[in-house]
Structure formats: structure tokens, C-alpha cells
Amino acid sequence: NGVWEYAIAPVPRSGEHFPATSDCVHHGEILVPFCVESQLGGVRRFVGSTNYLWYRRAVPQPAAALGARTLLHFGAVDWEAAVYVNSVHCGTHRGGYTPFFFDITDALRGGEATLTVVVRVWDPTSAGTQPRGKQVNTPSGIWYTPTTGIWQTVWLETVPNMRVDSLECVPLVQQDTVELRVGVAAPDGSVAAVSCRAIVSVHDEDLVEGSGTVAPLAGSGELRGTIRIALPSVQLWSPDSPFLYDLRVQLTAASGSVFDSVESYFAMREVAVQRDAHGVPRLMLNGKPIFMFGALDQGYWPDGILTPPSEEAMLYDLELTKRCGMNAVRKHVKVESRRWYAACDRLGLLVWQDMPSGDRFARWDPYGSFFGTEDERTSESMANFRQELRELLKCFSAHPCIVCWVPFNEGWGRSETEETAAWLRAADPTRLVDAASGGNDLASAPGDVADWHVYPGPLLSAPQAEKLEKAAGPDADHGFPKLDPAGRALVLGEYGGLGLPAEGHLWRPTGENWGYRSFETADQLTEQFASMSRTLIDLACARGLCAAIYTQTTDVEVEVNGLVTYDRELEKISPDRIAGVNRELVHCLDPRAGL
């Protein structure tokens, strides 16, 4: 991170080398990790699909022990990033939301004090079919300013030649056991088995340990191993008690000496859909019914766009969610940095994680087309989608806060829904799958939840209910969808969107500002929010509703339907006035509530 050179140059006139000034549309300096469109980056320019965005920086070459490797990490670069070190092409990554790294050891020059990094970025934004979330080339309404290039942290790391390169912690709650799946990298081609030791600790006191062997995986050349550790007096993770176990994993030589060690953490928690005593499908956390209630969190900032201006700013949004009495957050068509998910792990927030949307919209009518259509995406479009979805799971499944994967939102990019839901279930059986949040349902009823979007809601309006009944039969029960016959949990994936434009805190003071329903005072807005929460309690107890997501945490550009303004300076809905009813809501299915 820090100040880099940047250049914007036409695609045809630049290819493998940082362009000459005469070939540039714009050039100057940019502050990484903020994007080129942002105020904090210091540039504030659009790039577009006909240009490359180039970065260049000379940095001190790290000292490395004999046989060590040097890795260059990128938290996220949107969208295609070709990386060069000392004019050597080290690799190209496609995908705007997931972290990646390249081993740059072979590009380093012995005896030199510095190395030069060059990154060439191409990002078509809404001119392409790749996952892009809410980014468009011409922002308006619910579509926002794009992010091009580096937008998360960049750093160098020196590691041993043979090292731990993956660690998956699988909680086996019913067995009071954690299963550790350890992967080892051996770039020199070594496939010899190595010993592995794992130590679980609590509050800096070692609790229990286990050991095993990491051995070559047949037919792959990869080194993989599994260690199971039984835990005494297991403490479960939940929103009210987000208990985390600390973990050290060490690779040891025959002599017993440690040649690589990593630190991590894990939690003991399990999530499922099961029927309660009344036969109603419920979301279960650690074997008990729970109502998951949170906010739609889009993660946009007026000065950093996709990148929060500071750690404190990032934490504010999450802490506001907790202060409002909520226990969940839906990360909407965006992926955050690992630090965001680590904060959710510590705070006890249940995360419903969207896959960023892309490509076109399928025909979508949430009430008139109950069993609707899918889009036919090209093979290239689906390949980009699948690759980034695989990386999403690989990079973030370590976080216990994530309890549900959401591959599609409404009709956007909906294709191969059944296959995608089945793949997610097989790839990660420890979490739920919301196959299509608010989207066209399918007769096969894929996923674990039946997800509706109702604006402003939470009850269907008379026209919405009438349209639904005409399209799918009597599927609405007094203004709300009936229980899913396939046994999926009934959830309200989006509702609310209550708007209040706050003078002095608007993205466009004289332009378009909107919500799904507008209010004139904070008191009116707060009372309506609380009234909706009381309705949700009735729906949970009497109609089988299991979760609800309010739109949204913050205002975003011209959307003024946040709990707080876009600049985070004014809390429009008072947390103190809604926390009580919201806590009643999230606990309304507790056994102690008598339900």
C-alpha cells in the first residue's frame, strides 16, 4: 500500500510494459489501496473498457533465507490483473472480489535493493458479463459508481519453501471435535510426507493438541492431511456468545524442530434447517431455532467507494448493526476483505454472503411469475462466474460468521440454479444455500430456504398478493406467502427500504434521492421501522417466518433508505429506540420464549 504511479492508456497501444507518457490518456500518482475512481485514491477518473489502467512502484526487496519464497498478495483487483515484477510476467488473475497471490521469487534479482512491480488492469464493468455487483459505467438509482483496479491491500510475504498453504477448520459439534484439513505447498517438487502438530488454546492458555501426517494426495502431487481434535467442555459460537478458539499449526522436521508455523482460530457452531415441534421448517443454530434478523449491507463509501477509509469506519457499520439489536447481516452482491469477516466472527454477526451478480437479467416478476425463467449465459460468462464462486468459498469458508451462501439475487444472471445450488451443498455442507434470493423459484425447490423480497413489506400489499394468487394459486395467506411445501425455511431476503433524505448528508443534494417509501422526520421513520419489527414477530410465531433482512445499513449514493446517512454522520433511525423490539424479534423463537 502507498503511493504508486498510475497511467490510463488505450488498450491497443499498450500491452506488456508501463506506457510512455505520450501514450497515456491520464497519468500521475494514486494512493493504493483506493481505486482510481475514488476521492481517497486522489485521481477520481473513470477508465472504461477501451483502456488499461497501469500501476508501477519500486519497493525494497525483502531479505529472504536460503530456499525461502517471496509472495506478492493482492486483497482484490477489479477485474483482470496482469502482474509483472522486474519486467517478468508472474501471472494474471481474473475476478474482482477475491484475493490472490503470485510467487515472485524467480523474478527477483540477487544483490539488488529494490524490485519493481507493474500491474496492468482491464475492467469492462457493465460492458462485460463478469461478476460486478452494483457497479455500472453510468451510475443512477440502485446502480453505483464503478471500482477499477486495486481496491484492497497489497503486501509482500516471505515464506519457507515448504509451508502450510491452506487450513480448513470443520466443526463437528455433535462429536465435540474439530477437524483440521491442512494443505502444504512444496514448490521445489518435494512430495515427502511431513509431520504436523496443532495446538488449540483459549485466552493464551494451551487447551489441547493433536498431530498427524501431511502426505501426498494420490495422483495430484499435493500434500494434504487431516487432524481431528476432541475438545473438552465445548463452548459454542452464537451471536450472544461469539466464542473463538485460537489455533497454531506447525510443520515439524524429524528432529522435532518447527520449520513453519501459522496461527488462526475457529468456532464450534452448526447451522441447519429442521422442523420444530409444530412441524414448521426452522433455521437452527447449534440445534436450537433462531430468528436471523439483519440489514442489507452493500459496503459502499462516498470517499472510498468499495474500500472503507479506515478500520474504524469499517467497524462502525458492523457495530451499528449490533447496537440496533440485530444478529445478522446480508453482504449484498459484494465481497469484503478478510478483516471484515474476522470482525463479524468476533462480534457475533451471522453473515448471509452473496455472490456478486453479473451478466443480464432473466425475466423476473417475483409475484406474477412464481416459477419463472432463467437466463442463458455464454460459456465464458458461466466460467467466470464459477471460477469466482469457487474462489469465494476457498478464501472465506474459514469464517464461522458465514452461515449461508447466496449465489443469485433476484433474476440477475440466473442460470443453472439447480446445478449451482447442488455444487454449493456438496462443496460446503456446513452452511445453508439460498439458491435465489427473491428470484424466480423453480419447481425443483433448490436450496435450503424459500426467499421472498417484499417492498416495503413485510406484508404483501393487496396488489402483490392478488398477483401472486393469480400466478401460482392461493400461495399467499392473508398477505404473506405460505410455508414452502418442499420443507425449506421461509425467509424475507429483503424488505423495508424506508427513505429519509437528510439535508447536508446527500450524495446529490439537488438530484435524485429516493426510498421505497419516504418519510419527513426521523421519528416517523423510526416508528415505522419498529412497527415492521413487531409485524415480523407475529410472522415468525404464527406464519413460520425464519429470517428477515432490512434494506439497508447505510444510504448509498442516491438511495436514502439507510439506518445511517452515506457519510455515516447521522443515524436516521435511533438504535436505542429499535434495539428492544429487535432483540425481542431475534429471540422470539428461543425455547425460553415458550414457542
Q: Give the pLDDT band of residue 594 (cuts 50, 70, 90).
A: very low
- Asked if residue 189 and residue 122 are part of one domain, the reply reads no
DSSP letter for 268, please. Answer: B
Q: Which of 93-102, 104-113, 406-415 has the highest mean pLDDT?
A: 93-102
* Cβ atoms within 10 Å of 29's Cβ, excluding its own: 12
pLDDT digit string, tens, across residues 520-577: 999 999 999 999 999 999 999 999 999 999 999 999 999 999 999 999 999 999 999 9
User: Is residue 592 situated within a structural domain?
Assistant: no
Q: Do 305 and 224 fall within a single domain? A: no
Residue-range definition of the domain harbouring residue 572: 281-587
Residues 89 and 225 both lie in one domain: no
In this structure, the answer to whether residues 35 and 130 fall within a common structural domain is: yes
- For residue 64, pLDDT beyond 80: no
**Which domain CATH number covers 521?**
3.20.20.80
Strand partners, 214: 194
- 261 and 349 share a domain? no
* 417 within domain boundaries: yes
CATH of residue 204's domain is 2.60.40.10
Measured between alpha carbons, how far apart are the two ends of the chain, in Å? 52
Q: 540 and 448, same structural domain?
A: yes
Write down the pLDDT at residue 84: 96
pLDDT of 595 strictly over 50: no
| pLDDT computed for residue 220 by the predictor | 66
Q: What is the mean pLDDT of the chain?
A: 92
- How does pLDDT run across 216-229, given as a tens digit for each residue? 877 666 799 999 99
Instruction: State residue 582's pLDDT score.
Output: 98
CATH number of the domain where residue 133 is located: 2.60.120.260
Alpha-carbon span 519 to 187, nearest angstrom: 61
**Same domain (yes/no): 140, 179:** no
Instruction: Mark residue 395 as left, alpha or beta (left: phi above 0; alpha: psi -120 to 50; beta: remaining).
Output: alpha
Higher model confidence: residue 1 or residue 67?
1
Which of 125-139, 384-398, 504-518 shows the lowest per-residue confidence on average (mean pLDDT)? 504-518
Flag whether pLDDT at 461 surpasses 60: yes
pLDDT of residue 176: 97
Residue 203 domain-assigned?
yes
Q: Are residues 123 and 207 in the same domain?
A: no
Q: pLDDT band for 39, please (50, 70, 90 cuts).
A: very high
Does residue 594 belong to any structural domain of this protein? no
Write out the H or E segment, with its range, that includes residue 135: none
pLDDT tier, 475 (very low <50, low <70, confident <90, very high otherwise): low
Q: pTM above 0.85? A: yes
Residues with Cβ within 8 Å of 175's Cβ and at least 6 positions away in sequence, in order, are 230
Does a structural domain hold residue 328? yes
337 and 451 fall within a common domain:
yes
The answer to whether residue 212 sits within a structural domain is: yes
The model's confidence at residue 478, banded by pLDDT at 50, 70 and 90, is low
Is 569 a member of any domain?
yes
- Count the domains in the chain: 3
Quick one: angle between helices 417-427 and 379-396, nearest 10? 20
Q: What is the pLDDT of residue 459?
A: 92
How far CA 466 is from CA of 56, 256, 456, 472, in Å, comes to 59, 72, 16, 10
Query: Is 450 contained in some domain?
Result: yes
Residue 22 has pLDDT above 70, yes or no: yes
pLDDT of 323 > 70? The answer is yes
Over residues 201-221, mean pLDDT? 87
The pLDDT assigned to 477 comes to 64
What does the pLDDT average to over 229-257? Answer: 95
Average pLDDT over residues 267-284: 96
Q: Give the CA diameter of the chain.
A: 77
Mark which of 240, 266, 292 sits at the end of a domain: 266
Residue 352: how many other CB atoms lie within 10 Å: 28
Please check whether residues 450 and 377 belong to one and the same domain: yes
Single residue among 106, 136, 159 that ends a domain in this structure: 159
152 with 169, same domain: the answer is: no
Q: How far apart are CA 31 and CA 74, in angstroms?
A: 15
Domain boundary among 266, 293, 308: 266
Statement to judge: residues 330 and 353 lie in one domain: yes
pLDDT at 470 over 80: no
Q: Is the pLDDT of residue 363 over 90?
A: no
CB burial of residue 433 (10 Å; 0-12, 13-18, 19+): buried
Q: Copy the grid coordinates of residue 262.
A: 501459522
Residue with more model confidence, 380 or 370: 380
